[in-house]
Structure 1
Amino acid sequence: MSARPRTAFLVRVALVSVLACGGLTACGADEEDLLYATDYANHEPLGVVGYPTSESLRITQQLVWRLADGKAEEVEGLAADPDEARGDVERTARNWIRSFHEGAKGKVTAEFYDEGSVRQLVVVYFHDTGQTKSFTVHLTGMAGEDGWRVTMREPDPKQASSAPDWVPRTPGGLGSKTPR
């Protein structure tokens, strides 16, 4: 092979490599969207009250789906808490699954409180079991670069399964505004 055809061949190989790499990067987003769509199709629809952002809704749906599936490691993967709180996160995930697994498999309504540009309080109503759960979702990292996550610091089983005393019995009872 002369120098000129060999150079052209190497340029083509490099171009194909760059295009393939770019395609794989794009596949990551497509794969995430496909997983989300599959999860959406495989679970009971989530009722919504209040004004979630698309991302606060997405992380809440994912949490409810992971609770329904009983997948502790995947629940832990949604946590906002820093590495030094990993033990609390692991215990919280197990407590939440133990407490809300059955309810999460049925009809669920999530109420999103207040304005949610960077943080939002969410109350989830598990209709089949009559349980409620509140938690906070928020942007993590510098300028939200890590995306939306869930605060998980309830390693005590009683704390993890208890409903806050201010939560109305039915969604929308406070007009999606936290009591002041």
Structure 2
Amino acid sequence: MTRTKRACGAAAALALAVLALSGCGDSADARGSGAAYEQAYANHEPLHVVGYPSTGSLRLTQELVWHIADGKTDDLRSLATGDSDDSQSTKTARNWVKGFEDGAQGKVTADFYDGGSERQVVVLYFHDTKQVKEFSMRLDGDAGEDGWKVLMKETDFKDATRKPAWAPKAPGGTGSKSSRH
């Protein structure tokens, strides 16, 4: 190996070490550190995915399912859009935990509809309980990819746990909700 190649390899290794030690390699964000996210990921059943989520909408959906599975209503409520007032988001979080906690602890498939650039509709299929849940999310403000939030205005338990009439019986149905309506 030439001296130049060894020097480039050493420089690359040094750069990676600096990134790791500085925390830049640990994708920390406003919702928690990368290590906390990785631990939550390891503690839960993998989320099965259909459709085309963005990185942010996928992460938000994973966190939503984990908070439901763990019964963490306050953490779930923290994922609400700015136009969901505290009363609405609190009641919705309680309804979702009460209605879907058992299902969220098992196999869950998230079916992402439409493009995930600013808004996205997601249908969750809870395989163990045979429940189906639709929710909407969007970028909330100018926060970029980490600014994804969930619309949480389902204060009535029956409304919050009602199966969407339009959703396919199984994940991977016939395409975007908006193209069918």
User: Offset of 1:82 from its aligned partner?
Assistant: 3.4
Q: Structure 1 residues 146 and 115, CA, compared in 2 at 3 Å: closer, same or farther?
A: closer
Aligned partner of residue 81 in structure 1, secondary structure: coil
AA in 1 matched with 2:39? T
CA distance in 2, matches of 1:70, 1:57: 20
Q: Structure 1 residues 24 and 34, CA, compared in 2 at 3 Å: closer, same or farther?
A: closer
Uncovered stretches (5+) of structure 1, i.e. residues with no partner: 1-22
Q: Which residue of 1 aligns with 2:55?
A: 54
Structure 1 contact 121–135 (Cα < 8 Å) conserved? yes
Deviations 1:94-135 (A, max 9, x none): 000000000000000000001110110000000000001000
Aligned residues: 157
Structure 1 contact 76–93 (Cα < 8 Å) conserved? yes
Q: Which residue of 2 aligns with 1:68?
A: 69
Say yes or no: does 1:94 pair with 2:109. Answer: no
CA distance in 1, matches of 2:65, 2:26: 26
Counterparts of residues 168-179 of structure 1 (less than 5 Å): 168-178=168-178, 179=180
AA in 2 matched with 1:29? A
Structure 1 contact 49–176 (Cα < 8 Å) conserved? no
Q: Which moved more, 1:97-106 or 1:30-39?
A: 30-39
Aligned partner of residue 33 in structure 2, secondary structure: helix
CA distance in 2, matches of 1:145, 1:62: 15
Uncovered stretches (5+) of structure 2, i.e. residues with no partner: 1-21
Q: Which moved more, 1:67-76 or 1:138-147?
A: 138-147
Q: Structure 1 residues 143 and 75, CA, compared in 2 at 3 Å: closer, same or farther?
A: closer
Q: With structure 2 as the length reference, what TM-score do the two structures score?
A: 0.80
Aligned partner of residue 120 in structure 1, secondary structure: strand
User: Offset of 1:74 from its aligned partner?
Assistant: 0.4
Counterparts of residues 19-58 of structure 1 (less than 5 Å): 29=28, 32-58=33-59
User: Offset of 1:146 from its aligned partner?
Assistant: 6.4
Q: Between Structure 1 and Structure 2, whose CA radius of gyration is higher? A: 1
Aligned sequence identity (%): 52
Q: Which residue of 2 aligns with 1:16?
A: none
User: Offset of 1:58 from its aligned partner?
Assistant: 0.2
Structure 1 contact 81–152 (Cα < 8 Å) conserved? no
CA distance in 2, matches of 1:152, 1:127: 23
Root-mean-square deviation (CA, aligned residues, Å) is 2.2
Q: Structure 1 residues 27 and 51, CA, compared in 2 at 3 Å: closer, same or farther?
A: closer
